[in-house]
Every structure is written in structure tokens, then in C-alpha cells.
Amino acid sequence: MITLGAKAPASLAGAKAAVLGPRPVRDSHSVVDREETLALARNGDQAAFARLIRQHQAMVFSLALHALRSRAAAEDLAQEVFLDLFRHLARIESSAHATAWLRRVTSHRCIDEIRRRRHRPELAVEVVPDRGVAPVAREFFVEERLQSLVATLPPRARMVVVLRFQEELDPTEIADALNMPLNTVKSHLRRSLNVLRARLAEAQGRQGIGK
């Protein structure tokens, strides 16, 4: 479960219960509701800030989870991102700005965390998210292998791939989230896909030889 923890300001106490955890929930709020919620939150309404978290928690957690491949790390990172949001609420101009701001901050925090992990590698990596329907075994192993290969990409290239194929952003949105030129995004995508195809084919070839 994501919580705002002991480091949260006292005024965030009412928001703690709003962050329910990693399971995505479809946001049914209208544009008007979202703008009203943001306005109230900027004016110090704790319940409104809790609603603001609920509106964006699935996106923030999903991005962190697929980039870091660890629920615990994703929860910690999401907590820090929402604390950042609280500190910068006065600068958030609209609901759309809040979404873009959260995506940008989450992406850059993920890149920083990936870089830190490369200096302190972990022994195990958690499998990314639960599936509603159990996949066919062969598809599952190919998917898990591909996720592991994505995790070997350089940090910025890895985030480009996650944003494009897991979060389903277009290259222009990725360029905005990562503060990266559009042509650089496209270049990362081309090179990364070529690398992943080659490594996946190599891994499948080794598996075939081992049978």
C-alpha cells in the first residue's frame, strides 16, 4: 500500500487514506470535477488533495512499477512524487498540467532511481503486474524475458520504451515528459527496439539449443 509516511506534513494527514495502493482504478471524474478538486486542494482542502491523489495514483504507480519492476520501490517513489506535488501545488495551473507534471516528475525520479540501482544491484527483481487472466505459459515466459531485457537498457532509453509501449504515450508526449528533443525520442525507440529484438532472438535461440 502506498502511504505518505512520517515525512508527510501534518496537513497531509487527511490524504493518507486516499492512496489505496497499486491496483489501478478507472477515473470517472469529469473535467469540471478535476479542476474544482485542484482549486480546492490549492486552497488547503485536505479532502480535495486526497481526491487529487486518487485521480492520479494509477498513472504514477503504473509508470514507476514498470520502470523499476519492484512494488516496494514503486510505492516509495510514488509517495515522494505526491509529496512533491503537495509542495508545488501553487504552481499547478490545471488538471492537465497536474497530469503532465506528475508524469514528468515520476519519469525523472525513475531514471535517477535506475541509475542508483546500477551502483547497488539487487539480487532479485519482482515480476511486473498481476494479470486478470493467466497467460499461456509460452507467452508468459517470452513477456517476462522481454521485460528483463528492457531492464538492461540505459536509463533514459528504458524510460522511453516504458512510456511508449507500457504507458502508450506518443513520441511527442514522451519528449515532453522527459524534456527530450522529439528526434532523440525517436532515435532511442529505433535503437532500443533493434537491441531488444536481437537480444530476444538470441535468448530464444539459446533456449532452443538447450532443449
Which cell is 208 given? 532452443
Using a cut of 0.75, tell me whether the model's pTM lies above it.
no
pLDDT at 39 > cutoff 90: yes
- The whole-angstrom separation of Cα 60 and Cα 78 is 6
**Secondary-structure breakdown of the chain: helix, strand, coil percentages, each rounded to the nearest 5:** 70, 0, 30
Q: CA distances (Å), 68 to each of 24, 28, 194, in order?
A: 17, 28, 22
Instruction: Give the single-character DSSP code of 135.
Output: P
Hey, which bits of the chain come out as E strands? none
Contact 151, 125 (CB under 8 A): yes
In tens, the pLDDT along 133-169 reads: 333 344 444 567 778 888 889 999 999 999 998 888 9
What structural domains and CATH numbers belong to the chain? 1-125 (1.10.1740.10), 131-211 (1.10.10.10)
